Structure 1
Amino acid sequence: MKGTRPAYWKALIDVRQELLKFNAPTEYAFQNLENGVIFCQHYSAYNDPFEFWSNIHEGIPNAAREPERFLAALAAWGFEFSSIEQATSDAGFVQEALGYFDECKDNGLPFQSMREEVRISCFASDRDNLLMWSHYADGLRGFCLAFDEGKIMDTVSEGYLAQVAYTRTPPAIDNLVYGISKDQEWYHEMAIEEQGQNPDYQDAADEAVRKMQSVWQEVFATKPVEWSYERERRLLVQTSRRDTAPISHPYPREAVKEIILGERMTDDNRSRILGILMQHYPAVTVKTARRANASYGLVFD
């Protein structure tokens, strides 16, 4: 699905966090490092059975049968009501709202097909996360790559980075809300362009962008709260594939800022990685993650 990366993709991430890839000491991990690629999979290949587990609502809601959707659509338009009864008390306003919803219903994106075509690679945010070193780097026998996210994103014209949100229930995703928010951003940006800077217009445009960002996160980056220890960030690469096969996404060698080796890595594996670094990443910083003496923590030297 081409041309789908939102213009505000940078706001989907927290640039103060690191972009870390934990790896077990496997042949695949060594080959990926040697070849300068990131392994990206279809969502069905991941170990979380609730990946992308949510419904995507389409079309215009019926106020009587779908009051929550109707109220959410009105809120995206800029009209907040405390109840569906209040919102529908004026028949003329309801007809006007339905007409506006009809104008916006095709502004959404084909999120369901995009989910099938997207390929995902998962990253972490904290290098001292003990569970990440245990679960994904074989108990300090593996290694962790620290990437420059700007250089990674420069290689992905049809993709984006997203912070994962952790929730207790699956999100209710509404493509109409996205379409209305898209229209509201356009409308208020045009008003600013034509009439000059106006705080009210800017606030409305910013709120529309926040709603669109929220929908993107709900569609592509929401998981059960039990996974929150990972503090995951994910790279999503949009493809046009019709299958579930993974892809290997290449990156420039200078995108690797640092590599952290686990202290329990075997001498053979350490020698192999250092050989790869000498040949392909001669300027990269190399550190070792070691168990702290007086705490259940890690030190890096």
Structure 2
Amino acid sequence: MPNPIHTLLPDGTQDIQRLLAIENNTELLYKFRSCQNPLHQKSLADGKIWIGEATALNDPFDSKPKEFLSRSTAEEANSYRDAVRSLRVLCFCGPLKGDGDDILRWSHYGDGHQGYCLMINDANLVAKTRSVSYEPHYPNLAELTPTSPNFWDKVGFFKAPAWRYEDERRALFPNSTATEYTIPPGAIWGVAFGCWSLHVNRIEVARHAHANNPKCYYFDAEIVTASYSLNYRNATVVYRQLMQ
């Protein structure tokens, strides 16, 4: 198999998805980060990612089915609230494609295009994730209780169509107190840098990533004005040379 680093197009451009195809379509999880957030930098250096509380999700409808609560007894409602309050969740976005959805994701989760996106190749974590369903109507959960076999399938994987641009994948951790997930060494397949990220921040992030992931790829997002899109230029050779 040819080394993808040496199969770049003449101008140095290499689409991420094409590179993945060369590597037998590796399935990745995409996590946007901020260069300005010291917690994100420390997590990267430590090989960790934060597992958040479901109650802190930024969608007011997410994991908060009012229809279910309004048709429940007080005891059932309290049981539901307790279950959701003990739920922790790890969220990822869909693949980077350079389209309008990418532009929105970078704006909302990538520190206004000044941050970076980790591309994680971890089969164990991929197996824990499911895609979010974007439905036009709020699901009817009136017959659901926290002891129902499909409780978390119903509660944890639905959002309104307006969120479809995220193409979100989630891993749920019910009844959990875990706050961090450890990324195995070598599992960070790539890092993409936002089109407005500073060079000094890119180098710092690359050094953190390279420490436990020496085969990591690096991509610089570039604005394509003719089509309102982003191009991801493969700059792996440059970054790896800087790490030597």
TM norm structure 1: 0.57
Partner of 1:20: 30
Distance in 1 (alpha carbons) for counterparts of 2:176 and 2:229: 43
Distance in 2 (alpha carbons) for counterparts of 1:229 and 1:133: 11
Could you tell me which of 127, 135, 157 is aligned with 1:167? 135
Partner of 2:20: none
Query: Secondary structure in 2 aligned to 1:253?
Result: coil
Structure having the larger proportion of residues in helix: 1
Distance in 2 (alpha carbons) for counterparts of 1:163 and 1:137: 20
Could you tell me which of 203, 223, 235 is aligned with 1:291? 223
Distance in 2 (alpha carbons) for counterparts of 1:167 and 1:281: 38
State whether residues 290 and 298 of structure 1, in contact with CA within 8 Å, keep that contact through their aligned partners in structure 2: yes
State whether residues 187 and 213 of structure 2, in contact with CA within 8 Å, keep that contact through their aligned partners in structure 1: no
Distance in 2 (alpha carbons) for counterparts of 1:44 and 1:230: 19
1:144-188 Cα distance to aligned partner (Å, 9 max, x none): 11112414257xxxxx31211122332112348x96xx7xxxxxx
Partner of 2:236: none
Distance in 2 (alpha carbons) for counterparts of 1:145 and 1:261: 9
Verify: 1:32 aligned to 2:43, yes or no. yes
Residues 130-141 of structure 1: pairs in structure 2 closer than 5 A: 130-141=103-114
Verify: 1:237 aligned to 2:173, yes or no. yes
State whether residues 27 and 121 of structure 2, in contact with CA within 8 Å, keep that contact through their aligned partners in structure 1: no
Task: State which structure, 1 or 2, has the greater radius of gyration over its C-alpha atoms.
Answer: 1
Partner of 1:147: 120
Partner of 1:125: 94
Q: Which amino acid aligns with 1:224?
A: A
State whether residues 118 and 191 of structure 2, in contact with CA within 8 Å, keep that contact through their aligned partners in structure 1: yes
Residues 190-269 of structure 1: pairs in structure 2 closer than 5 A: 212=150, 216-241=152-177, 247-269=179-201
Distance in 2 (alpha carbons) for counterparts of 1:232 and 1:111: 24
Query: Secondary structure in 2 aligned to 1:48?
Result: coil
State whether residues 122 and 184 of structure 2, in contact with CA within 8 Å, keep that contact through their aligned partners in structure 1: no
Query: Secondary structure in 2 aligned to 1:170?
Result: coil
State whether residues 162 and 235 of structure 1, in contact with CA within 8 Å, keep that contact through their aligned partners in structure 2: yes
State whether residues 120 and 187 of structure 2, in contact with CA within 8 Å, keep that contact through their aligned partners in structure 1: yes
State whether residues 40 and 248 of structure 1, in contact with CA within 8 Å, keep that contact through their aligned partners in structure 2: yes
Query: Secondary structure in 2 aligned to 1:254?
Result: coil
Query: Secondary structure in 1 aligned to 2:42?
Result: helix
The size of the alignment, in residue pairs, is 192
1:111 shift after superposition: 6.7
TM norm structure 2: 0.69
Alpha-carbon distance change, 36 to 151 in structure 1, aligned in 2, over 3 angstroms: same
Query: Secondary structure in 2 aligned to 1:47?
Result: coil
Partner of 1:73: none
Alpha-carbon distance change, 17 to 223 in structure 1, aligned in 2, over 3 angstroms: farther
RMSD: 2.7
Q: Which amino acid aligns with 2:58?
A: N
